[in-house]
A and B are shown apart, each in its own frame.
Chain A
Amino acid sequence: MMSDFLTAREAGLALCQDCHKLIPWQVQHEQGGAICPRCGADVHLRKPHSISRTWALVITAAILLVPANVLPIMEVDSLGSAAYSTILDGIIYFFEEGSYAIGIIILTASVLVPCFKIIGIVLILLSIHFRWKSWLRHKTLLFRVIGFIGRWSMLDIFVIALLQVLVNFGYLTSIESAPAATYFTGVVLTTMFAAITFDPRLLWDA
């Protein structure tokens, strides 16, 4: 199936990840990689330790996802009584209020996107591990989508940062961030790094 296609690696060329220049790959580069003559970046045939680094990050993200969803992310103080709400509580609030559009946006950004990213990356990693050669184009597209949507999970954190400043009327009512904010930011960070350390070319090498 692949015989019609010649990859850069098969042609003895390495692609610089920073400036996309093709560099003739030599045997002496196998040890520590090459330096790109155009931009000075380290060049490797494939990102080094890509699979193990991505596994480590995606497992960390999956672990952090539990406290991020179970613990409260926001504290609303009103006339001396404190109410804590988790990410899901916030979404349910919007649906009950009738703001379906916003409810769906937050549901997507803070629940669906992180889960989709973790499941997607695990699927891709498993497919490399077991050398599943079908749906390569779709899996590459899946990875591209994961890379694109990752940053949108920060939405909830930005909303809480703003609410904390704006809704601060002392005893009357105030909003503060709660412990899940830290875990949730951790999920965003680790999943974004997982997408960066993963090398989609490994899918096609199998």
Chain B
Amino acid sequence: MEARIDKLDLENVMACPDCDLLLQQVEVVRGQKALCPRCGHMLYSAKKDSLDKTLALSFSGLILYLPANFLPLMTLDTLGLEKSGSIYDGVISLYQHRYFFVAIMVALTSLIFPLAKLSLLFLVSLALKLKFYPRFLSLCLRYYHHLDEWGMLEVYMVGILVTIIKMYHMAHIQYDAGFFCFIGLLWVALGSSVVLDEHLFWRLIEQKNS
């Protein structure tokens, strides 16, 4: 077993995270992705200009973040009574009704983690773009990796749609600025995680450290 490893160049060898199979890395071109031959895990795919695109999208996300979460999403109008609310108001309302655990979870998944993800991604891609390698760079990328599934903007978007359909017959709905900003934020945030090439980012960090 040891002899086989010596023959392989450790730089071009990778292991499947799902089944631990040792694999030789291959080049993929645009539109291709590398799958594990044993368990079918998507190992990596070809991504062009990942660094520039990630930087641009995460920056746009940060601009949209405040209006998307703090401006009212929509206004309901029933019998002359009007009520509007933002995503932030949803958290505060849960808190005021003493559902602390639910309020914290909603705050984390819809407000705090999406912001943390965008900020970390922006920081890392900006630093790599400027060829500036502070020590906390790898820590930032690690935190991003762990937070990835805990930001739930797209789930919230479906939640907004369900709310609209629920209220459609009962009240007149007027869509406010927050609604459109949120759709923008969702697209940009999803885009930033799609264009991010974690393998490339780690390689760039490693090149500098060694």
Q: A residues touching B (Cβ–Cβ < 8 Å)?
A: 5-13, 15, 17-22, 38-41, 97, 99, 102, 105-106, 109, 136-137, 140-141, 143-144, 147, 150-152, 154-155, 157-159, 161-169, 172-173, 176-177, 181-182, 185-186, 188-189, 192, 200-201, 203-205
Contacts of A6 in B (CB 8 A): 1, 4, 21-22
Choice from A10, A152, A186 contacting B101 with Cβ under 8 Å: A186
Q: B residues touching A (Cβ–Cβ < 8 Å)?
A: 1-2, 4-5, 10, 13-15, 17-22, 38-41, 73-74, 76, 78-79, 81, 83-87, 89-91, 93-94, 97, 99, 101-102, 105-106, 109-110, 138-139, 141-142, 145-146, 149-150, 152, 155-156, 158-160, 162-163, 165-167, 169, 198-199, 202, 205-206, 209
A182 to B141: give the CA distance in the assembly, Å: 32
**Pairwise interchain contact B10-A106, C-beta atoms closer than 8 A:** no
A97 to B78: give the CA distance in the assembly, Å: 20
| Inter-chain residue pair count (beta carbon < 8 A) | 206
Min CB distance A80 to B, Å, is 16
Contacts of B93 in A (CB 8 A): 161, 164-165, 168
Contacts of B19 in A (CB 8 A): 7, 136, 140, 200-201, 203-204
The 8 closest A-B pairs by CB, nearest first: A158-B159, A165-B85, A161-B90, A8-B15, A7-B20, A201-B20, A204-B19, A140-B39
Given contacts A102-B165, A157-B102, 19 further A-B contacts (CB under 8 A): A5-B38, A11-B1, A15-B20, A19-B138, A38-B205, A38-B206, A102-B166, A143-B18, A155-B155, A158-B90, A158-B110, A165-B83, A165-B86, A166-B163, A167-B76, A168-B93, A176-B97, A182-B102, A185-B102
Choice from A38, A137, A165, A192 contacting B89 with Cβ under 8 Å: A165
**Pairwise interchain contact A182-B90, C-beta atoms closer than 8 A:** no
Contacts of A144 in B (CB 8 A): 18, 41
A167 to B79: give the CA distance in the assembly, Å: 13
A39 to B21: give the CA distance in the assembly, Å: 22
Min CB distance A169 to B, Å, is 5
**Pairwise interchain contact B105-A177, C-beta atoms closer than 8 A:** no
Contacts of A186 in B (CB 8 A): 101
Closest to B145 in A: A18
Contacts of A166 in B (CB 8 A): 74, 76, 83-85, 163, 167
A151 to B18: give the CA distance in the assembly, Å: 20
**Pairwise interchain contact B38-A15, C-beta atoms closer than 8 A:** no
Between A and B, 18 residue pairs with Cβ closer than 8 Å are A5-B38, A8-B21, A10-B1, A140-B40, A152-B155, A157-B105, A158-B152, A158-B159, A161-B90, A162-B90, A162-B159, A163-B163, A165-B89, A167-B76, A167-B167, A169-B81, A172-B78, A185-B102
**Pairwise interchain contact B22-A182, C-beta atoms closer than 8 A:** no
Known: A13-B5, A157-B105, A177-B102. A18 touches B142 (CB 8 A): yes
Min CB distance B149 to A, Å, is 6
**Pairwise interchain contact B22-A8, C-beta atoms closer than 8 A:** yes
Contacts of B97 in A (CB 8 A): 164, 176-177
Contacts of A164 in B (CB 8 A): 90, 93-94, 97
**Pairwise interchain contact A40-B15, C-beta atoms closer than 8 A:** no
A189 to B109: give the CA distance in the assembly, Å: 11
A165 to B193: give the CA distance in the assembly, Å: 30
A150 to B150: give the CA distance in the assembly, Å: 10
A97 to B146: give the CA distance in the assembly, Å: 41
Min CB distance A45 to B, Å, is 9
Contacts of B89 in A (CB 8 A): 165
Closest to B168 in A: A99
**Pairwise interchain contact A162-B40, C-beta atoms closer than 8 A:** no
Contacts of B22 in A (CB 8 A): 5-8, 10-11, 13
Closest to B39 in A: A140
